[in-house]
Amino acid sequence: MARKHFFFSKFFIGTVLTVLFAAMIGLAVFMHYIFSGLPPVYEMEEYTPSLTTKVYDRNNQLIHEFSIEKRSMVPLEDIPVDLQNAVVAMEDRNFFQHAGFSARGILRALLHDLITGRAKQGASTLTQQLSRGVFLSQEKKLIRKIREIILAIQIEHKFSKPEILQLYLNEIYLGSGAYGVKSAAKKYFDKDLSELTPGESAMLVGLIPAPGRYNPFVNPNLALRRRNLVLDVMHEQGYLNKDELARAKQEVLPAEPPAPEKKPGQYFIEHIRRILEPKYGMDVLWKAGLNIYTTIDIEQQALAEEIMNKKLQEYDEQVAKGLGIEIDPNDAEADTSAVSEEEQTPQETAPRLQGAFLVRDVKSGAVRVMIGGRDFTESKFNRATQAHRQPGSSFKPYVWMAALQKGYTPATLVKDLPTMFFHDGTNWRAFDENSDLYSLDLARQPFIASRDFNVWVPRNYGGRSDGWITLRRGLEKSKNLVAVNLIDAVSPQAVIRVARKAGITAKLPRVPALALGVSVLEMDEHLAALTTFANGGIHTDNYFIERVEDANGRILEQHVPTETAEFDPQHAYLLINMMKGVTQRGSGAYVNRLGRNIAGKTGTTQSHRDMWFIGMTPHTAAAAWMGYDDDTSHENGARFTGSTTARWWTEIMEKILQDEPNDDFAVPEGISFAYINPTTGKLAMPTDRNKFLEAFISGTEPESF
């Protein structure tokens, strides 16, 4: 019997030990599973939530924020005390006493779960909520809860209470895409954190358990009751006295979200995104809290947008009413062709004019203003950088530069005579330039029906030709016949070489019509190329970003200026000096009311489809374009031209240039001046009444009267 009892005892002890051993192994495996799902707590030190990337203008003014989650990190001292107190009072009244979790709260929640048969969201301390929000899923499982408690204890051991509270207030989701209290203050009240009242702070804290349910814009009555509950709890815990409580409850909740601010510069911001997102990736640009310092002047941008939109709206109304606008008598530069087009049927609803405007620094290339259209919300297509439009007569400076390089001077007499070009199967050739326009029309008639024989007869605007005129006058009056005769004399290849050196990369056809701007260019490239002449023949590319810094201030990239000398400064000066005449006596004379030294060129394409003005001072260059996206003609009705565009260019630049010194373009060495007769191109007689002081490369002045 004793032996049997001994055997049973031995068996029982062995069984117990086996069970204990198995339990220990099971516990070890379980704990390994628990801890294997925990991130190292030191990651909390390096943890950076999704941050907002900030974009600044040239004066370090914040102009935009890129963010997936509307979040801004702020130190605890910048968060209102009422907001801190409300969070502690409502979410974790023992926050400053516990070690990361509340045993009483967990037991209370467990009892509730057993009674109701469903998991309860509550019973979590601020530290637990933080650990769940940063590292763990929101799934309501026992395993996750255990990990949450363990991680909370580790966090409490590693960080101080103020550090934990700061991270919590910057991490918490408060609905409507707002992460953190700073973003929520802006989202619900359109206020900075420092401006929040006790009632507003309480409302934000009331959102924490269920942001959608307690949203004042969705459930105002429920949000009010929740806000008042938070205030009552704050009063009970001594954070508010009776008077403060009464005043806070009198505060009115916001009835609707703040109206989204229509900020200027949206086309520029999108351009920045298109530059940086492929370079850094979407996650870095939108989540890493970069600081992007740009070249734009947001104040100039805003006024430019206002003026352009106002003027284009006026033109829209004129078209809609069937009214014409006053045509500048100096505007004789609209390009026409002998090949007539079918008359367009007027539309019952007038289309909406579009526009683009770009301002850059002449020497550095820094872009100060970029308008890609009238309304970014309507169309994100950037007409300043993405549109390919014919430049019309604004292309002529490249032709004139090619002529200067071939030995022409501003006083050289050039042909403003009717010319007919024919294509011989290989090249375009000119007929006898001595024929009059009537004779040329007769000459072309036999070839019109032939598919194998192309004929082109360019004309000046209005059909008038002046015979032989100076190179200067040909540019000032934007003479089409001068342009095509020049390109015929110097060759299209020479003009293309000039355009390439200036910075044009677009495809340019080797045809005489190139002189009239039949190629298609992007505005930003065209402006940068023409600015080369204003910069003494030195080319600089447009640029938009000064530097990019990471969230810690480390510079990731910085603009490095590059310059290339493409033209002799003497030739560049002669061209710019002639372009000044365009704004003083020519097709861009409206600009002269600014009383500044401005070189410029208008441009109007065939059938008035594109209207340009590009002008520059020694410091600032700007391009303006207007037209229709669907390439609608202006030939019928209100005949807008490049001179029309020059009008609103002038209004904008009057504001932009108001603080710029009225300097003239510097005269380089090797330039001399002589009085000439502007009709003959020869030296002026002492008795000439209309003599003109012309610039020449030294040694090329006329030698006879």
**Residue given tokens 């003109």 in the structure block:** 692
Helices (H), 448-508: 471-476, 480-490, 492-502
- How far, in Å, CA of 543 to CA of 520, rounded? 22
Q: Is 70 helix (H, G, I), strand (E, B) or coil?
A: strand
- How far, in Å, CA of 666 to CA of 364, rounded? 17
Q: What pLDDT shows up at residue 33?
A: 47
Q: Is 356 helix (H, G, I), strand (E, B) or coil?
A: strand
Q: Beta strands of 70-142 (E only): which ranges?
A: 70-71
Length in residues, the chain: 705
Q: Beta strands of 96-229 (E only): which ranges?
A: 178-179
The whole-number mean pLDDT for each consecutive block of 10 residues of the chain, a chain of 705 residues, reads: 56 64 56 50 55 93 85 86 94 80 58 52 72 56 62 77 88 87 92 94 94 94 96 95 95 88 92 96 91 98 97 89 52 42 44 94 98 94 96 97 98 91 74 56 58 76 87 96 95 97 96 94 98 98 97 95 96 98 95 96 89 97 94 64 94 97 97 96 90 96 89
CATH of domain 296-340+350-409+475-552+566-663: 3.40.710.10
H/E element holding 244? Answer: helix 242-250
Helices (H), 37-70: 42-46
- How far, in Å, CA of 47 to CA of 167, rounded? 10
Domain 69-250: which CATH class?
mainly alpha
Q: Give the max Cα distance, the chain.
A: 153
Q: What pLDDT shows up at residue 179?
A: 86
Q: Is 84 helix (H, G, I), strand (E, B) or coil?
A: helix
Report the chain's C-alpha Rg in angstroms: 37
Q: Is 20 helix (H, G, I), strand (E, B) or coil?
A: helix
Which are the contacts of 597, defined by CB distance < 8 A and separation ≥ 6?
580, 617, 618, 662, 663, 664, 665
Q: How many helices (H) and strands (E) does the chain have?
A: 22, 21
The answer to whether 607 and 341 are in contact (CB under 8 A) is yes
Q: What pLDDT shows up at residue 306?
A: 97
Q: Which residues pair with 696 in a beta bridge?
A: 672
Q: What pLDDT shows up at residue 342?
A: 37
Domain boundaries, the chain: 1-36, 69-250, 296-340+350-409+475-552+566-663, 669-705
Q: Is 325 helix (H, G, I), strand (E, B) or coil?
A: coil
Q: What percentage of the chain's residues is helix, strand, coil (to nearest 5)?
A: 45, 15, 40
- How far, in Å, CA of 605 to CA of 336, rounded? 8
Q: What pLDDT shows up at residue 97?
A: 79
